[in-house]
Amino acid sequence: MPTVRDVDQSDAPGGAGIHGYVAAWARRTPDAPAVTAEGEQLTYAELAAAARRLAAGLARAGVSVGDRVVLWSDKRPAAVAVMQAALSLGAPYVPVSAANPPARVWRIAADCAATVVVADAPAAERVARGGGVPGGPPLVTLDELERLGADSDPPPVHLPDLDDPAYILYTSGSTGAPKGVSLSHRNATAFVEWAGDLLAVSSRDRLANHAPFNFDLSVFDLYAAFRAGASVHLVPAELAYAPVQLARFVREAGITIWYSVPSALTLMIRDGGLLDGPPPPALRACVFAGEVMPIRYVHDLRAAWPAVRLLNWYGPTETNVCASYEVTDADAGRDRPLPIGRSASGAVLHLDPPTSNGTGGDSVGDHPEGEIVVDGPTVMLGYWGREPQRGPYRTGDLGRLASDGCLEYLGRHDDMAKVRGNRVEPGEIEAVLAAHPDVAAAAVVVAGAGLAARLHAVVVPAGDRRPGLLEIKRWCAGQLPTYMIVDSVQAATSLPLTPNGKTDRAALLAAIEGGGPLLAPN
Protein backbone atom coordinates (compact mmCIF):
# COMPACT_ATOMS: atom_id res chain seq x y z
CA MET A 1 0.00 0.00 0.00
CA PRO A 2 1.17 3.58 -0.52
CA THR A 3 2.80 5.18 2.48
CA VAL A 4 3.72 8.73 3.38
CA ARG A 5 7.34 9.20 4.25
CA ASP A 6 8.35 11.00 7.40
CA VAL A 7 9.11 14.66 6.87
CA ASP A 8 12.11 16.02 8.72
CA GLN A 9 13.70 19.46 8.65
CA SER A 10 15.56 18.72 5.43
CA ASP A 11 12.36 17.58 3.68
CA ALA A 12 10.04 20.42 4.61
CA PRO A 13 10.62 23.78 2.90
CA GLY A 14 12.03 26.28 5.36
CA GLY A 15 12.42 23.71 8.14
CA ALA A 16 10.13 21.36 10.03
CA GLY A 17 6.54 22.39 10.53
CA ILE A 18 3.77 23.56 8.25
CA HIS A 19 4.82 27.20 8.69
CA GLY A 20 8.02 26.44 6.75
CA TYR A 21 6.13 26.49 3.45
CA VAL A 22 5.42 30.23 3.45
CA ALA A 23 8.92 31.15 4.61
CA ALA A 24 10.46 29.10 1.81
CA TRP A 25 8.38 30.69 -0.95
CA ALA A 26 8.92 34.15 0.52
CA ARG A 27 12.59 33.59 -0.26
CA ARG A 28 12.07 31.92 -3.66
CA THR A 29 9.18 33.93 -5.17
CA PRO A 30 8.60 36.88 -2.84
CA ASP A 31 6.27 38.73 -5.21
CA ALA A 32 3.99 35.77 -5.99
CA PRO A 33 0.46 36.10 -4.57
CA ALA A 34 -0.14 33.92 -1.50
CA VAL A 35 -3.58 34.77 -0.15
CA THR A 36 -6.38 36.92 -1.56
CA ALA A 37 -9.78 37.99 -0.23
CA GLU A 38 -12.21 40.64 -1.47
CA GLY A 39 -9.62 42.76 -3.22
CA GLU A 40 -7.01 42.40 -0.46
CA GLN A 41 -3.92 40.43 -1.35
CA LEU A 42 -0.70 39.42 0.38
CA THR A 43 2.29 38.17 -1.55
CA TYR A 44 4.48 35.49 -0.02
CA ALA A 45 6.94 38.14 1.15
CA GLU A 46 4.14 40.25 2.62
CA LEU A 47 2.54 37.26 4.34
CA ALA A 48 5.87 36.21 5.86
CA ALA A 49 6.58 39.77 7.02
CA ALA A 50 3.08 40.13 8.53
CA ALA A 51 3.53 36.83 10.34
CA ARG A 52 6.82 38.00 11.86
CA ARG A 53 5.26 41.30 13.06
CA LEU A 54 2.30 39.47 14.53
CA ALA A 55 4.61 36.91 16.15
CA ALA A 56 6.35 39.79 17.91
CA GLY A 57 2.94 41.07 18.99
CA LEU A 58 1.89 37.66 20.29
CA ALA A 59 5.15 37.33 22.20
CA ARG A 60 4.53 40.72 23.87
CA ALA A 61 1.01 39.49 24.73
CA GLY A 62 2.60 36.63 26.64
CA VAL A 63 2.50 33.83 24.09
CA SER A 64 5.37 31.36 24.08
CA VAL A 65 6.11 27.79 23.01
CA GLY A 66 3.21 25.45 23.74
CA ASP A 67 0.66 28.17 24.51
CA ARG A 68 -2.67 28.18 22.67
CA VAL A 69 -3.88 31.13 20.59
CA VAL A 70 -7.61 31.32 19.84
CA LEU A 71 -8.28 33.06 16.52
CA TRP A 72 -11.84 34.42 16.26
CA SER A 73 -12.20 36.13 12.92
CA ASP A 74 -13.83 36.36 9.55
CA LYS A 75 -11.80 34.90 6.71
CA ARG A 76 -9.18 37.49 5.79
CA PRO A 77 -5.46 37.49 4.92
CA ALA A 78 -4.56 38.93 8.33
CA ALA A 79 -6.13 35.89 10.02
CA VAL A 80 -3.94 33.59 7.92
CA ALA A 81 -0.93 35.65 9.03
CA VAL A 82 -1.91 35.12 12.69
CA MET A 83 -1.90 31.35 12.11
CA GLN A 84 1.60 31.59 10.67
CA ALA A 85 2.68 33.83 13.55
CA ALA A 86 1.44 31.43 16.21
CA LEU A 87 3.10 28.47 14.49
CA SER A 88 6.40 30.33 14.29
CA LEU A 89 6.29 30.70 18.09
CA GLY A 90 5.53 27.01 18.60
CA ALA A 91 2.04 27.94 19.78
CA PRO A 92 -0.88 25.89 18.40
CA TYR A 93 -3.62 28.07 16.93
CA VAL A 94 -7.30 27.44 17.60
CA PRO A 95 -9.46 28.87 14.80
CA VAL A 96 -13.05 29.76 15.71
CA SER A 97 -15.35 31.05 13.00
CA ALA A 98 -17.05 34.41 13.26
CA ALA A 99 -20.38 32.55 13.44
CA ASN A 100 -19.64 31.63 17.07
CA PRO A 101 -21.10 33.82 19.83
CA PRO A 102 -18.74 35.16 22.54
CA ALA A 103 -20.00 32.68 25.14
CA ARG A 104 -18.95 29.70 23.03
CA VAL A 105 -15.62 31.30 22.07
CA TRP A 106 -14.64 31.72 25.70
CA ARG A 107 -15.91 28.24 26.51
CA ILE A 108 -13.45 26.99 23.89
CA ALA A 109 -10.72 29.30 25.18
CA ALA A 110 -11.23 27.96 28.69
CA ASP A 111 -11.21 24.36 27.52
CA CYS A 112 -7.84 24.71 25.80
CA ALA A 113 -6.46 27.11 28.46
CA ALA A 114 -5.68 29.70 25.79
CA THR A 115 -3.22 32.48 26.59
CA VAL A 116 -5.02 34.99 24.38
CA VAL A 117 -8.02 35.39 22.09
CA VAL A 118 -7.16 37.27 18.89
CA ALA A 119 -10.24 38.83 17.32
CA ASP A 120 -10.96 40.93 14.27
CA ALA A 121 -12.82 44.23 14.67
CA PRO A 122 -16.39 42.87 14.17
CA ALA A 123 -15.81 40.13 16.76
CA ALA A 124 -14.34 42.60 19.25
CA GLU A 125 -17.35 44.88 18.76
CA ARG A 126 -19.68 41.99 19.61
CA VAL A 127 -17.82 41.50 22.88
CA ALA A 128 -17.97 45.24 23.66
CA ARG A 129 -21.72 45.35 22.99
CA GLY A 130 -22.16 42.42 25.35
CA GLY A 131 -20.38 44.15 28.22
CA GLY A 132 -16.78 43.11 27.69
CA VAL A 133 -14.67 39.97 27.96
CA PRO A 134 -16.62 37.29 29.88
CA GLY A 135 -13.64 36.19 32.00
CA GLY A 136 -10.74 33.99 31.00
CA PRO A 137 -7.93 34.97 28.63
CA PRO A 138 -7.63 38.56 27.40
CA LEU A 139 -8.92 39.66 24.01
CA VAL A 140 -6.46 41.31 21.62
CA THR A 141 -7.63 42.72 18.31
CA LEU A 142 -5.71 42.25 15.08
CA ASP A 143 -4.92 45.98 15.04
CA GLU A 144 -3.63 45.87 18.62
CA LEU A 145 -1.48 42.88 17.75
CA GLU A 146 0.02 44.81 14.83
CA ARG A 147 0.81 47.76 17.13
CA LEU A 148 2.35 45.50 19.76
CA GLY A 149 4.63 43.95 17.17
CA ALA A 150 5.48 47.07 15.16
CA ASP A 151 8.36 48.17 17.38
CA SER A 152 9.51 44.77 18.65
CA ASP A 153 11.89 42.22 17.24
CA PRO A 154 10.20 38.86 16.64
CA PRO A 155 11.60 35.91 18.52
CA PRO A 156 13.47 33.22 16.58
CA VAL A 157 11.32 30.90 14.50
CA HIS A 158 10.50 27.78 16.47
CA LEU A 159 11.37 24.48 14.77
CA PRO A 160 8.91 21.99 16.23
CA ASP A 161 9.04 18.27 16.57
CA LEU A 162 6.70 16.84 13.95
CA ASP A 163 4.53 15.36 16.68
CA ASP A 164 4.01 18.72 18.40
CA PRO A 165 0.47 20.11 18.07
CA ALA A 166 0.06 22.62 15.23
CA TYR A 167 -3.62 23.53 15.56
CA ILE A 168 -6.75 22.49 17.45
CA LEU A 169 -10.07 22.23 15.61
CA TYR A 170 -13.14 22.34 17.84
CA THR A 171 -16.11 20.23 16.82
CA SER A 172 -19.55 19.75 18.28
CA GLY A 173 -19.40 17.49 21.35
CA SER A 174 -21.80 14.69 22.27
CA THR A 175 -21.45 15.47 25.99
CA GLY A 176 -22.84 18.98 25.61
CA ALA A 177 -19.57 20.88 25.22
CA PRO A 178 -17.37 21.40 22.14
CA LYS A 179 -14.27 19.23 22.00
CA GLY A 180 -10.90 20.12 20.54
CA VAL A 181 -9.24 17.83 18.02
CA SER A 182 -5.49 18.30 18.49
CA LEU A 183 -3.54 17.81 15.27
CA SER A 184 0.21 17.75 14.82
CA HIS A 185 2.58 18.97 12.14
CA ARG A 186 3.00 15.33 11.10
CA ASN A 187 -0.79 14.91 10.80
CA ALA A 188 -1.01 17.97 8.57
CA THR A 189 2.00 17.31 6.34
CA ALA A 190 1.03 13.67 5.75
CA PHE A 191 -2.30 14.80 4.34
CA VAL A 192 -1.08 17.92 2.53
CA GLU A 193 1.79 16.12 0.77
CA TRP A 194 -0.45 13.24 -0.31
CA ALA A 195 -3.17 15.60 -1.56
CA GLY A 196 -0.73 17.97 -3.23
CA ASP A 197 0.90 15.11 -5.10
CA LEU A 198 -2.42 13.53 -6.08
CA LEU A 199 -3.66 16.78 -7.62
CA ALA A 200 -0.21 17.88 -8.83
CA VAL A 201 -0.64 21.28 -7.19
CA SER A 202 1.91 23.75 -8.58
CA SER A 203 2.76 27.42 -8.20
CA ARG A 204 0.46 28.15 -11.16
CA ASP A 205 -2.63 26.98 -9.28
CA ARG A 206 -5.30 29.13 -7.70
CA LEU A 207 -7.11 27.28 -4.91
CA ALA A 208 -10.45 28.39 -3.50
CA ASN A 209 -11.02 28.33 0.25
CA HIS A 210 -14.73 27.77 0.80
CA ALA A 211 -14.67 26.16 4.26
CA PRO A 212 -14.24 28.19 7.48
CA PHE A 213 -10.82 27.92 9.09
CA ASN A 214 -12.14 25.72 11.92
CA PHE A 215 -13.30 23.13 9.35
CA ASP A 216 -10.66 20.58 8.33
CA LEU A 217 -11.35 21.14 4.62
CA SER A 218 -9.49 24.46 4.95
CA VAL A 219 -6.23 22.63 5.78
CA PHE A 220 -5.96 21.52 2.16
CA ASP A 221 -6.88 24.94 0.76
CA LEU A 222 -4.22 26.78 2.77
CA TYR A 223 -1.34 24.38 3.11
CA ALA A 224 -1.52 22.58 -0.24
CA ALA A 225 -1.34 26.06 -1.77
CA PHE A 226 1.55 27.15 0.46
CA ARG A 227 3.45 23.92 -0.09
CA ALA A 228 3.43 24.54 -3.86
CA GLY A 229 3.83 28.33 -3.84
CA ALA A 230 0.30 28.66 -5.25
CA SER A 231 -2.32 31.22 -4.26
CA VAL A 232 -5.39 30.62 -2.10
CA HIS A 233 -8.53 32.72 -2.59
CA LEU A 234 -10.73 33.08 0.48
CA VAL A 235 -14.49 32.87 -0.04
CA PRO A 236 -16.16 35.33 2.38
CA ALA A 237 -18.53 33.72 4.87
CA GLU A 238 -21.48 35.70 3.53
CA LEU A 239 -20.99 34.10 0.10
CA ALA A 240 -20.58 30.54 1.40
CA TYR A 241 -24.12 29.57 0.37
CA ALA A 242 -24.91 32.31 -2.14
CA PRO A 243 -25.11 30.14 -5.28
CA VAL A 244 -24.97 32.77 -8.03
CA GLN A 245 -22.06 34.62 -6.43
CA LEU A 246 -20.16 31.37 -5.78
CA ALA A 247 -20.54 30.21 -9.36
CA ARG A 248 -19.32 33.61 -10.53
CA PHE A 249 -16.41 33.47 -8.06
CA VAL A 250 -15.08 30.23 -9.59
CA ARG A 251 -14.91 31.85 -13.02
CA GLU A 252 -13.84 35.38 -12.15
CA ALA A 253 -11.12 34.34 -9.69
CA GLY A 254 -9.70 31.86 -12.21
CA ILE A 255 -9.96 29.02 -9.68
CA THR A 256 -8.08 25.89 -10.77
CA ILE A 257 -8.95 23.66 -7.78
CA TRP A 258 -12.27 23.80 -5.91
CA TYR A 259 -12.86 21.94 -2.64
CA SER A 260 -16.11 22.13 -0.66
CA VAL A 261 -18.92 20.21 0.94
CA PRO A 262 -21.46 18.74 -1.51
CA SER A 263 -24.20 21.04 -0.18
CA ALA A 264 -22.40 24.06 -1.59
CA LEU A 265 -21.77 22.42 -4.96
CA THR A 266 -25.36 21.20 -5.16
CA LEU A 267 -26.64 24.71 -4.49
CA MET A 268 -24.30 26.17 -7.11
CA ILE A 269 -25.53 23.65 -9.70
CA ARG A 270 -29.20 23.87 -8.82
CA ASP A 271 -29.60 27.61 -8.17
CA GLY A 272 -26.36 29.28 -9.28
CA GLY A 273 -26.06 28.28 -12.92
CA LEU A 274 -22.67 26.65 -12.31
CA LEU A 275 -23.08 24.28 -15.24
CA ASP A 276 -24.62 26.80 -17.62
CA GLY A 277 -22.38 27.51 -20.58
CA PRO A 278 -18.85 26.20 -21.03
CA PRO A 279 -16.82 24.91 -18.04
CA PRO A 280 -14.86 27.50 -16.04
CA PRO A 281 -11.77 27.91 -18.24
CA ALA A 282 -9.16 27.52 -15.50
CA LEU A 283 -10.80 24.80 -13.40
CA ARG A 284 -9.02 21.44 -13.54
CA ALA A 285 -10.12 19.69 -10.33
CA CYS A 286 -13.28 19.70 -8.21
CA VAL A 287 -13.16 17.91 -4.86
CA PHE A 288 -16.02 17.33 -2.44
CA ALA A 289 -16.10 15.90 1.09
CA GLY A 290 -17.95 16.08 4.38
CA GLU A 291 -21.24 14.49 3.36
CA VAL A 292 -22.75 12.35 0.61
CA MET A 293 -22.82 13.95 -2.85
CA PRO A 294 -26.17 13.20 -4.57
CA ILE A 295 -25.39 10.95 -7.52
CA ARG A 296 -27.54 12.93 -9.95
CA TYR A 297 -25.29 15.96 -9.47
CA VAL A 298 -22.20 13.80 -9.91
CA HIS A 299 -23.58 12.78 -13.31
CA ASP A 300 -24.37 16.42 -14.15
CA LEU A 301 -20.83 17.52 -13.26
CA ARG A 302 -19.21 14.71 -15.25
CA ALA A 303 -21.32 15.45 -18.32
CA ALA A 304 -20.76 19.21 -18.20
CA TRP A 305 -17.07 19.12 -17.21
CA PRO A 306 -15.54 16.04 -18.91
CA ALA A 307 -11.99 17.41 -18.61
CA VAL A 308 -12.24 18.36 -14.90
CA ARG A 309 -11.09 15.79 -12.35
CA LEU A 310 -13.84 14.97 -9.82
CA LEU A 311 -12.85 13.45 -6.49
CA ASN A 312 -14.82 12.28 -3.47
CA TRP A 313 -12.77 12.47 -0.26
CA TYR A 314 -13.65 10.95 3.09
CA GLY A 315 -12.39 11.35 6.63
CA PRO A 316 -13.51 12.83 9.97
CA THR A 317 -11.71 15.78 11.55
CA GLU A 318 -9.82 13.30 13.74
CA THR A 319 -8.07 11.78 10.70
CA ASN A 320 -8.52 14.33 7.92
CA VAL A 321 -8.80 12.62 4.52
CA CYS A 322 -8.15 8.90 4.87
CA ALA A 323 -9.98 7.61 1.76
CA SER A 324 -10.36 8.92 -1.78
CA TYR A 325 -12.31 8.06 -4.91
CA GLU A 326 -11.95 9.63 -8.35
CA VAL A 327 -14.95 9.69 -10.68
CA THR A 328 -14.45 8.04 -14.07
CA ASP A 329 -16.54 7.33 -17.15
CA ALA A 330 -17.41 3.97 -15.58
CA ASP A 331 -19.58 5.83 -13.06
CA ALA A 332 -21.93 7.10 -15.76
CA GLY A 333 -24.49 4.38 -15.08
CA ARG A 334 -24.15 4.40 -11.29
CA ASP A 335 -27.43 4.81 -9.41
CA ARG A 336 -25.98 4.49 -5.89
CA PRO A 337 -23.86 7.09 -4.07
CA LEU A 338 -20.18 7.20 -4.94
CA PRO A 339 -17.90 4.99 -2.87
CA ILE A 340 -15.47 6.69 -0.53
CA GLY A 341 -12.76 4.70 -2.27
CA ARG A 342 -9.39 3.48 -1.12
CA SER A 343 -6.92 4.54 1.53
CA ALA A 344 -5.37 8.00 1.34
CA SER A 345 -2.69 9.98 3.17
CA GLY A 346 -0.89 6.79 4.17
CA ALA A 347 -3.91 5.55 6.13
CA VAL A 348 -4.56 1.93 7.01
CA LEU A 349 -8.30 1.24 7.00
CA HIS A 350 -10.08 -1.62 8.72
CA LEU A 351 -13.67 -2.66 9.12
CA ASP A 352 -14.49 -3.75 12.64
CA PRO A 353 -14.94 -6.57 13.51
CA PRO A 354 -11.42 -7.07 12.12
CA THR A 355 -10.59 -9.72 9.58
CA SER A 356 -8.68 -12.85 10.44
CA ASN A 357 -5.77 -11.83 8.24
CA GLY A 358 -5.61 -8.30 9.71
CA THR A 359 -5.14 -6.66 6.33
CA GLY A 360 -5.86 -2.99 5.78
CA GLY A 361 -5.04 -0.02 3.61
CA ASP A 362 -6.10 -0.35 -0.01
CA SER A 363 -7.80 -3.60 0.99
CA VAL A 364 -9.84 -3.18 4.15
CA GLY A 365 -9.97 -6.92 4.56
CA ASP A 366 -12.48 -9.59 3.68
CA HIS A 367 -15.18 -8.59 6.15
CA PRO A 368 -18.00 -7.03 4.10
CA GLU A 369 -19.36 -4.52 6.63
CA GLY A 370 -18.41 -2.85 9.89
CA GLU A 371 -17.24 0.32 11.60
CA ILE A 372 -14.50 2.17 9.71
CA VAL A 373 -11.32 2.22 11.82
CA VAL A 374 -8.33 4.33 10.75
CA ASP A 375 -4.65 4.06 11.57
CA GLY A 376 -1.79 6.04 10.06
CA PRO A 377 0.07 9.35 10.11
CA THR A 378 -2.98 11.62 9.98
CA VAL A 379 -4.70 10.21 13.10
CA MET A 380 -4.99 13.01 15.67
CA LEU A 381 -2.92 13.42 18.80
CA GLY A 382 -6.16 13.26 20.78
CA TYR A 383 -8.89 15.50 22.15
CA TRP A 384 -7.39 18.44 24.00
CA GLY A 385 -7.37 17.91 27.75
CA ARG A 386 -8.12 14.20 27.48
CA GLU A 387 -6.01 11.07 27.22
CA PRO A 388 -3.82 10.96 24.07
CA GLN A 389 -5.11 8.95 21.14
CA ARG A 390 -3.41 5.57 21.21
CA GLY A 391 -3.65 3.28 18.23
CA PRO A 392 -6.31 3.36 15.52
CA TYR A 393 -9.23 5.78 15.60
CA ARG A 394 -12.78 4.45 15.53
CA THR A 395 -14.76 6.79 13.28
CA GLY A 396 -18.29 5.77 14.25
CA ASP A 397 -19.00 5.51 10.52
CA LEU A 398 -20.21 2.28 9.00
CA GLY A 399 -18.73 0.98 5.77
CA ARG A 400 -19.00 -1.87 3.30
CA LEU A 401 -16.27 -3.34 1.13
CA ALA A 402 -17.49 -3.57 -2.47
CA SER A 403 -16.44 -6.32 -4.87
CA ASP A 404 -14.01 -3.96 -6.64
CA GLY A 405 -12.12 -3.27 -3.41
CA CYS A 406 -13.58 0.19 -2.85
CA LEU A 407 -15.12 1.18 0.45
CA GLU A 408 -18.74 2.36 0.56
CA TYR A 409 -20.16 4.62 3.27
CA LEU A 410 -23.30 3.28 4.99
CA GLY A 411 -24.02 5.88 7.68
CA ARG A 412 -23.50 6.36 11.42
CA HIS A 413 -24.03 4.09 14.38
CA ASP A 414 -24.58 7.02 16.78
CA ASP A 415 -26.49 10.32 16.82
CA MET A 416 -23.88 12.55 15.19
CA ALA A 417 -25.17 14.19 12.00
CA LYS A 418 -23.99 16.51 9.25
CA VAL A 419 -25.78 19.75 8.41
CA ARG A 420 -24.36 21.32 5.25
CA GLY A 421 -21.13 19.49 5.94
CA ASN A 422 -20.87 20.78 9.53
CA ARG A 423 -20.56 18.14 12.22
CA VAL A 424 -23.42 18.45 14.69
CA GLU A 425 -23.73 16.48 17.92
CA PRO A 426 -27.36 16.79 19.10
CA GLY A 427 -26.13 16.48 22.67
CA GLU A 428 -24.47 19.90 22.57
CA ILE A 429 -27.65 21.59 21.36
CA GLU A 430 -29.74 19.65 23.86
CA ALA A 431 -27.52 20.82 26.73
CA VAL A 432 -28.07 24.45 25.69
CA LEU A 433 -31.83 23.96 25.35
CA ALA A 434 -32.08 22.20 28.71
CA ALA A 435 -30.46 25.23 30.37
CA HIS A 436 -33.40 27.43 29.29
CA PRO A 437 -35.46 28.29 32.41
CA ASP A 438 -38.70 27.13 30.78
CA VAL A 439 -37.36 23.80 29.48
CA ALA A 440 -37.28 20.68 31.62
CA ALA A 441 -35.88 18.34 28.95
CA ALA A 442 -34.99 18.53 25.28
CA ALA A 443 -34.08 16.36 22.33
CA VAL A 444 -32.82 17.31 18.88
CA VAL A 445 -33.08 15.28 15.70
CA VAL A 446 -32.02 15.95 12.12
CA ALA A 447 -34.59 15.41 9.38
CA GLY A 448 -33.60 15.34 5.73
CA ALA A 449 -30.15 15.32 4.14
CA GLY A 450 -27.95 17.65 2.15
CA LEU A 451 -29.54 21.02 1.53
CA ALA A 452 -32.81 19.75 3.02
CA ALA A 453 -31.28 18.87 6.42
CA ARG A 454 -33.03 20.64 9.30
CA LEU A 455 -32.57 20.63 13.07
CA HIS A 456 -35.79 19.91 14.94
CA ALA A 457 -36.05 20.40 18.70
CA VAL A 458 -38.60 18.75 20.95
CA VAL A 459 -38.86 20.30 24.41
CA VAL A 460 -40.70 19.34 27.57
CA PRO A 461 -41.83 22.61 29.23
CA ALA A 462 -40.75 23.10 32.83
CA GLY A 463 -44.13 24.62 33.72
CA ASP A 464 -47.19 26.08 32.06
CA ARG A 465 -45.16 28.39 29.83
CA ARG A 466 -44.03 26.97 26.49
CA PRO A 467 -41.14 28.87 24.82
CA GLY A 468 -41.71 29.69 21.15
CA LEU A 469 -39.41 29.24 18.18
CA LEU A 470 -38.05 32.81 18.09
CA GLU A 471 -37.25 32.70 21.79
CA ILE A 472 -35.48 29.34 21.41
CA LYS A 473 -33.55 30.61 18.38
CA ARG A 474 -32.36 33.67 20.33
CA TRP A 475 -31.36 31.43 23.23
CA CYS A 476 -29.34 29.17 20.92
CA ALA A 477 -27.76 32.13 19.12
CA GLY A 478 -26.23 33.31 22.38
CA GLN A 479 -24.33 30.07 22.89
CA LEU A 480 -24.02 28.18 19.58
CA PRO A 481 -22.73 28.85 16.05
CA THR A 482 -25.36 29.63 13.45
CA TYR A 483 -25.31 26.17 11.87
CA MET A 484 -26.39 24.65 15.23
CA ILE A 485 -29.43 26.89 15.76
CA VAL A 486 -32.61 24.82 15.57
CA ASP A 487 -35.00 25.27 12.67
CA SER A 488 -38.17 24.25 14.49
CA VAL A 489 -39.37 23.53 18.00
CA GLN A 490 -42.29 21.48 19.23
CA ALA A 491 -43.48 20.59 22.71
CA ALA A 492 -44.17 17.21 24.26
CA THR A 493 -45.35 16.15 27.68
CA SER A 494 -42.38 13.78 27.86
CA LEU A 495 -39.64 12.38 25.67
CA PRO A 496 -40.09 8.81 24.41
CA LEU A 497 -37.51 6.33 25.67
CA THR A 498 -36.00 3.17 24.25
CA PRO A 499 -36.02 -0.01 26.37
CA ASN A 500 -32.55 0.88 27.69
CA GLY A 501 -33.73 4.28 28.89
CA LYS A 502 -32.27 6.49 26.17
CA THR A 503 -34.22 9.06 24.18
CA ASP A 504 -36.00 7.31 21.33
CA ARG A 505 -34.89 9.54 18.49
CA ALA A 506 -36.44 7.30 15.87
CA ALA A 507 -39.87 7.80 17.46
CA LEU A 508 -39.33 11.56 17.63
CA LEU A 509 -38.25 11.71 14.01
CA ALA A 510 -41.26 9.66 12.93
CA ALA A 511 -43.57 11.97 14.88
CA ILE A 512 -41.96 15.09 13.37
CA GLU A 513 -42.13 13.76 9.83
CA GLY A 514 -45.61 12.31 10.23
CA GLY A 515 -47.21 14.80 12.62
CA GLY A 516 -47.84 12.05 15.17
CA PRO A 517 -49.74 12.44 18.46
CA LEU A 518 -46.52 12.55 20.50
CA LEU A 519 -46.08 16.27 19.77
CA ALA A 520 -48.18 19.32 20.49
CA PRO A 521 -49.08 21.37 17.40
CA ASN A 522 -46.77 24.24 16.44
CATH 3.40.50.980 in the chain, residues? 38-159
Cα distances from 195 to residues 65, 215, 223, 302, 344, in angstroms, run 29, 17, 10, 21, 8
Which regions in the chain score pLDDT beneath 70? 1-16, 131-133, 173-176, 354-367, 414-415, 421, 450-451, 498-502, 515-522
Q: HSE-up of 83 (CA within 13 Å, CB side)?
A: 31
Which amino acid makes up residue 215? F
User: Alpha-carbon distance 141 to 357, whole Å?
Assistant: 56
CATH of domain 347-412: 2.30.38.10
Which amino acid makes up residue 161? D
Looking at 3.30.930.10, 3.30.70.270, 3.40.50.720, 3.40.50.980, the CATH number of the domain 38-159 comes to: 3.40.50.980
Give the model's pLDDT for residue 176. Answer: 67
For the chain, the first-to-last Cα distance in angstroms comes to 55
22, 14 in Cβ contact below 8 A?
Answer: yes
Write the pLDDT tens digit of every residue in 305-315: 999 999 999 99
Instruction: Output phi, psi for 362, to 5 deg.
Output: -60, -30
This prediction has a pTM of 0.82
Give the model's pLDDT for residue 360. Answer: 42
Q: In sequence order, which residues have a C-beta less than 8 Å from that of residue 94 and are 6 or more positions away?
A: 68, 69, 70, 71, 108, 109, 112, 114, 167, 168, 169, 170, 180
Three-state DSSP class for 73? strand
User: Alpha-carbon distance 260 to 465, whole Å?
Assistant: 43
The superfamily in CATH containing domain 425-514 is ANL, C-terminal domain (3.30.300.30)
376, 346 in Cβ contact below 8 A?
Answer: yes
User: Alpha-carbon distance 413 to 401, whole Å?
Assistant: 17
User: Alpha-carbon distance 483 to 481, whole Å?
Assistant: 6
Q: In 309-438, which ranges are E strands?
A: 309-314, 323-326, 342-343, 348-352, 369-375, 382-383, 393-401, 407-412, 417-419, 422-424
β-pairing, 309-314 with 323-326?
antiparallel
**Mind spelling out the 3-state secondary structure of 179-217?**
EEEEEEHHHHHHHHHHHHHHCCCCCCCEEEECCCCCCCH
Give the model's pLDDT for residue 505. Answer: 76
Q: In sequence order, which residues have a C-beta less than 8 Å from that of residue 383 and are 6 or more positions away?
A: 179, 180, 181, 182, 389
145, 83 in Cβ contact below 8 A?
Answer: no
Q: HSE-up of 89 (CA within 13 Å, CB side)?
A: 32
| Beta bridge mates, 232 | 35, 207
User: Alpha-carbon distance 512 to 411, whole Å?
Assistant: 21
Write the pLDDT tens digit of every residue in 367-404: 578 899 999 999 999 999 999 999 999 998 888 898 88
